[in-house]
Structure 1
Amino acid sequence: PAQLALAWLLHKPGVVSPIIGATKMQHLEEAVQALEITLTPEEIEQLEASYVPHPVLGHS
């Protein structure tokens, strides 16, 4: 799941670098493997189908 989330972020325009919280070498290695995942437009659409954006709070 984390690799898929990172791959999705890397396919989004405007996302320069996702921040990962690797506490173990295995976590870092898995995050790097996300670079090898190529998502099709259909897969991205499916991942985003249930996403509901929330308004940013605290900004005027």
Structure 2
Amino acid sequence: MGKYDRMEEADMKIVDRVHQLAQKYQCKMSQIAVAWHWAKGVEAPIIGATKAAYLDDGVGALNVKLTQEDIAFLEEPYVPHPIVGAINQNPPQGVVLLDEKK
């Protein structure tokens, strides 16, 4: 079982909704994702531009204007994910983690 497999079913509900909105707006799913970030106030979303076309896709997201209904549609099935592979708080003073790097 992979690190994030336990949340795959919940995640796929959101992926399906991103796909539906991409069809509605006749754009790429990545553009819906970037448009959602902008709608939520993120001013510089990280788009992972390993190819020039990805930059074009990111710029194309400027033409996608999600409505409040679209945003609610995307967010409605969201389920918070448990923390995996990291600690969620600092250990008490004096406690040494076994896998701590020195």
Task: Please indicate the TM-score interval, normalised by the length of the shorter structure.
Answer: 0.7 to 0.9
Report the 3-state secondary structure (helix = DSSP H, G, I; strand = E; otherwise coil) of the residue aligned with 1:34: helix
Shift of 1:55: 5.5
RCO higher in 1 or 2 (8 Å CA, sep ≥ 6)?
Answer: 1
Shift of 1:10: 0.5
Instruction: Please give the per-residue CA displacement for 1:34-59, whole angstroms capped at 9, x wherever unaligned.
Output: 11110110011001111112366534
Q: What is residue 48 of structure 2 aligned with on the other side?
A: 21
Shift of 1:28: 0.7
Q: Any stretches of 5+ residues in structure 2 without a counterpart? A: 1-28, 90-102
Q: Any stretches of 5+ residues in structure 1 without a counterpart? A: none
Tell me whether 1:7 sits opposite 2:35 in the alignment. yes
State which structure, 1 or 2, has the greater radius of gyration over its C-alpha atoms: 2
- Whole-Å separation in 1 of the counterparts to 2:53 and 2:43: 23
The amino acid that maps onto 1:31 is G
Q: What is residue 52 of structure 1 aligned with on the other side?
A: 79
The amino acid that maps onto 2:87 is G
